[in-house]
């Protein structure tokens, strides 16, 4: 690297990366770790409600305002019942938070931890195959699944086989359904992980952006299409760890010699090797077909978007 | 008024080269200038024109002001062409933070609110597409690092379909030379005139040093 390039890199080195940051999202239902029956619900209308476990209606409500200056603080104004958090007068500080929990520090120094309550289950399945296309590379895409009591929603975007030729974009249902089972040979790889709602939403956002890029002819790489899939799978997997190191990741950063995958493989093979490496690192958390099949209803999920 | 001046005040018409990649590569994203004017990236800013594009952001206190200072010097050297057949576009890499007002403040405080120079913001999706389409190196390791792109000036003449690039910290002479590579073709008379001037300098050099230096 020439000296001017080095200076430029150093001067710009404080530019924040475009990776997604952990964002506080209060909306939804929470339960206090110290109490089993009471639930708390933040809604978008800036109301916090206390709900009894039997769903008989709110026991107390308060309007809330979130201040995000130096420290995150919530100011609550009771509208029904007594104070919900702290003494009801002083603001409550958010000490820490991640995708599934939030810890408050009240004015009288009490530490309260809430955990998110989510009736849905979420999965990410990373699948890839070799030997499908003329250059012996193959399909590689992440599949996101949200399973609720009412419906199963599946999204998949990436490189897939369209009658033997490589295609990039939203994967048709009839194609991804074929990838929902563990491969029986070394030419396929699959890692299925159970994730939380926030991780699902972030990963889904990445897939939606790439789906939009395909539809609007706005791919980042117009001619080197496999490079788009590399950026997609890198963003999807890295977004899982935006709040906590939930998944053991391989650093696909193109830095020699740390990133041996990009050093040794052509772009079209990188997703397969990357998913294989993630499978090695996270094999213990892999959700096997037997566990997944009783949750997943393929016919309900086979909906093309 | 001299005849040349009379012609220069008529607005030039810009025609893209038949081989120009057009909207397909440049995109026709809707952007906003620091003057809060809506513009289409290809139709209003690139189509048939010669442009210099760079990336920056308003709260940057490291390299961006230095690059802007360097461009101000280049602007000064080419002021007769600026806004007529040559345009500078500085696009923010942090569009969510940089409103047109923030860019206007940046341009004003850096004394870069000059004719023919627009500071642009827009939608993050569109700006990322433009960044990759104009500065992409077919290497995710480089391209995902916005700093790699921010250290480069992309010079495009859509009228001749000529693309070139130069390091933002290159000397003023080098930047001017790269811009001239993308200049529209000169007439035979102009080239003849330039050659005569250059030959005089060469002759002078040979006489003084016995060999031709870089003239």
| Cross-chain Cβ contact B147/A8 below 8 Å | yes
> With 60 as the cut, is the pLDDT of residue A173 above it?
yes
Residues counted in chain A:
305
Is pLDDT above 50 for A17? no
Q: By CA distance, what is A259's nearest residue in B?
A: B141
- DSSP for chain B, please give it: --HHHHHHTSPPP----TT--THHHH---EEEETT--EEEIIIIIITT-EEEEEEE-TT--SHHHHHHHHHHHHHHHTTTTBTTTEEEEEEES-TTT--HHHHHHHHHHTT---TTEEEEEE-HHHHHHHHHHHH--S-HHHHT-HHHHHTEEEEEETTTTEEEEEETTS-HHHHHHHHHHTSPPPPHHHHHHHHHHHHHHHHHHHHHHSS----
Element (H, E) at A101: strand A101-105
* Model pLDDT, residue A90: 79
Per-residue confidence band for A192, with pLDDT thresholds at 50, 70 and 90: very high
Q: Which helix (H) or strand (E) holds A225?
A: helix A225-239
Does the model's pTM come out above 0.90?
no
How far apart, in whole angstroms, are the C-alpha atoms of residue B83 and residue B90? 14
Q: Which residues contact A65 (CB under 8 A, 6 or more apart)?
A: A46, A74, A75
Sequence-separated (6 or more) residues with CB below 8 Å from residue A189: A126, A127, A128, A129, A183, A272, A275, A276, A279
Cα–Cα distance measured from residue A243 to residue A200, given in angstroms and rounded to the nearest whole number: 13
Check CB contact under 8 Å for A8 and B150.
Answer: yes
Q: Are A200 and A122 in contact (CB under 8 A)?
A: yes
Q: Which residues of B touch A231 (CB under 8 A)?
A: 140, 144
Q: How far is B128 from chain A (nearest CA, A)?
A: 8
pLDDT of residue A5: 53
Helix (H) or strand (E) holding A153: strand A152-162
For residue A273, pLDDT over 80 is answered with yes
Q: Mean pLDDT across chain B, nearest whole number?
A: 92
Kindly report the CA angle at A199 between B136 and A273, in degrees rounded to 5?
55
Q: Say whether residue B23 is in contact with chain A using an 8 A CB cutoff.
A: no
Q: Give the residue among A214, A191, A213, A204 at the shortest CA–CA distance from A145.
A: A204
Considering only CB atoms, A8 lies closest to which of B125, B128, B168, namely: B168
Q: Is A90 in contact with A105 (CB distance < 8 Å)?
A: no
Q: Is B21 on the interface with A (CB under 8 A)?
A: no
List of chain B residues whose C-beta atoms are within 8 Å of the C-beta of residue A212: 125
Q: At what angle do helices B63-77 and A3-11 cross, to 10 degrees?
A: 120
Closest-approach residue (CA) in chain B for A225? B138
**For the ranges A166-175, A210-219, A231-240, B183-192, which has the lowest average pLDDT?**
B183-192
Q: Which stretch, A26-35, A71-80, A110-119, B110-119, has highest mean pLDDT? A: B110-119
Burial class of B3 by CB neighbour count within 10 A (0 to 12, 13 to 18, 19+): exposed
Among the listed residues B81, B32, B39, B60, the one whose alpha carbon sits nearest the alpha carbon of residue B168: B60
Distance from CA of A290 to the nearest CA of B (A): 37
B92 and B58 in contact (C-beta within 8 Å)?
yes
| Tokens at B23, concatenated | 């909207």
Contacting residues of A for B128, CB less than 8 Å apart = 18, 220
Instruction: Report which of B75, B103, B59, B90 is spatially closest to residue B154, judged by C-alpha positions.
Output: B90
Nearest CA distance, A69 vs chain B (angstrom): 16
CA distance A6 to A16: 18
| Residue A1 confidence class, pLDDT cut points 50, 70, 90 | very low
| Cβ atoms within 10 Å, residue A202 | 22
Query: What average pLDDT does range A1-13 have in this prediction?
Result: 50
Q: Which of A4, A253, A254 faces B169 most closely, judged by CB atoms?
A: A4
Cβ distance B121 to B31 under 8 Å?
A: yes
pLDDT digits (tens, 9 = 90+) for A20-48: 578 888 888 999 888 767 888 888 878 88
What distance separates the 2 farthest-apart alpha carbons in chain B?
60
B166 touches chain A (CB under 8 A): no
Contact A18 B146 (CB under 8 A): yes
Alpha carbon of residue B75 to chain centroid: 9
CA distance B98 to B100: 7
Q: What is the pLDDT of residue B7?
A: 47
Judge whether residue B12 has pLDDT over 70: no
Angle at CA of residue A148, ends A143 and A153, nearest 5°? 35
Q: Where in chain A is the domain with CATH 2.40.128?
A: 28-117
CATH of domain A28-117: 2.40.128
**The complex's ipTM?**
0.86
In angstroms, the separation between the Cα of residue A124 and the nearest Cα of chain B is 23
| Residue B148 Cα, gap to closest chain A Cα (Å) | 7
Is A12 close to B24, i.e. CB distance below 8 A?
A: no
Chain A residue set in contact with B, beta carbons under 8 Å: 4-5, 7-9, 11-15, 18, 209, 212-213, 217-218, 220-222, 224, 227, 230-231, 234, 253-255, 262
**B27 near A CB under 8 A:** yes
Instruction: Give pLDDT tens digits for B39-78.
Output: 999 999 999 999 999 999 999 888 899 999 999 999 999 9
Chain A residues touching residue B25 (CB < 8 angstroms): 222
Neighboring chain A residues of B148 at a CB cutoff of 8 Å: 9
Q: Which pair of structure tokens corresponds to residue A37? A: 């029956």
Q: Is B167 on the interface with A (CB under 8 A)?
A: yes
Euclidean distance between CA atoms A304 and A177, whole angstroms: 11
Query: Could you tell me how far CA A66 lies from the centroid of its own chain?
Result: 24
- The yes-or-no verdict on residue B23 having pLDDT over 60 is yes
Mean pLDDT within A223-241:
97
Q: Least CA distance to A234: which residue of chain B?
A: B140
φ/ψ of B149, rounded to 5, equals: -80, -35
B146 CB neighbours in chain A (<8 A) are 12, 15, 18
The answer to whether the Cβ–Cβ distance between B93 and A212 falls below 8 Å is: no
Q: Are A213 and B129 in contact (CB < 8 Å)?
A: yes
């Amino acid at each position: 690297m020439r000296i001017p390039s080095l200076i430029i890199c150093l001067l710009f080195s404080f530019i924040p990366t475009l990776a997604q940051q952990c964002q506080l999202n209060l909306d939804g239902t929470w339960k206090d770790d110290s109490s089993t029956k009471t639930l708390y619900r933040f809604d978008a209308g800036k109301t916090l409600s206390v709900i009894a476990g039997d769903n008989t209606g709110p026991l107390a409500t308060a309007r809330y305002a979130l201040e995000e200056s130096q420290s995150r603080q919530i100011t609550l104004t009771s509208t029904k019942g007594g104070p919900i958090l702290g003494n009801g007068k002083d603001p409550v500080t958010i000490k820490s938070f991640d995708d599934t929990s939030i810890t408050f520090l009240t004015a009288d120094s009490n530490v309260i931890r809430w955990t998110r309550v989510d009736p849905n289950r979420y999965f990410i399945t990373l699948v890839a195959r070799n030997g499908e296309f003329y250059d012996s590379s193959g399909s590689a895409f992440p599949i996101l699944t949200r399973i609720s009591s009412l419906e199963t929603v599946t999204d998949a975007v990436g490189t897939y086989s369209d009658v033997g030729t490589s295609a990039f974009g939203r994967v048709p249902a009839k194609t991804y359904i074929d990838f929902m089972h563990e491969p029986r040979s070394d030419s396929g790889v699959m890692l299925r992980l159970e994730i939380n709602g926030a991780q699902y939403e972030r990963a889904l956002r990445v897939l939606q952006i790439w789906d939009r890029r395909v539809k609007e002819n706005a791919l980042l790489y117009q001619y080197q299409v496999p490079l788009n899939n590399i950026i997609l799978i890198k963003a999807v997997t890295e977004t899982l760890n935006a709040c906590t190191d939930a998944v053991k990741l391989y650093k696909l950063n193109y830095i020699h010699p740390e990133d041996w995958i990009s050093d040794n493989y052509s772009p079209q093979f990188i997703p397969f090797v990357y998913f294989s490496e993630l499978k090695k690192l996270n094999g213990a958390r892999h959700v096997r077909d037997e566990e997944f099949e009783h949750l997943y209803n393929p016919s309900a999920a086979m909906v093309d978007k | 008024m001299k005849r040349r001046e009379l012609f220069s005040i008529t607005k030039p018409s810009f025609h893209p080269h038949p081989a120009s990649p057009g909207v397909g590569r440049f995109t026709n994203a809707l952007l906003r200038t620091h003057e809060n004017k809506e513009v289409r990236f290809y139709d209003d800013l690139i189509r048939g024109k010669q442009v210099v594009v760079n990336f920056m952001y308003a709260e940057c206190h490291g390299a961006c002001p230095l690059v802007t200072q360097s461009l101000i010097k280049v602007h000064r050297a080419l002021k007769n062409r600026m806004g007529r057949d040559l345009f500078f576009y500085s696009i923010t890499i942090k569009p969510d933070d940089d409103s047109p007002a923030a860019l206007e403040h940046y341009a004003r405080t850096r004394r870069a609110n000059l004719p023919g120079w627009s500071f642009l913001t827009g939608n993050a999706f569109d700006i990322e597409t433009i960044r990759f389409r104009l500065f992409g190196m077919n290497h995710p390791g480089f391209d995902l690092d916005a700093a790699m792109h921010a250290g480069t000036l992309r010079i495009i003449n859509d009228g001749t379909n000529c693309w070139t690039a130069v390091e933002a910290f290159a000397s003023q002479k080098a930047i001017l030379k790269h811009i001239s590579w993308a200049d529209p073709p000169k007439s035979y008379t102009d080239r003849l005139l330039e050659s005569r001037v250059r030959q005089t300098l060469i002759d002078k050099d040979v006489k003084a040093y016995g060999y031709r230096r870089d003239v």
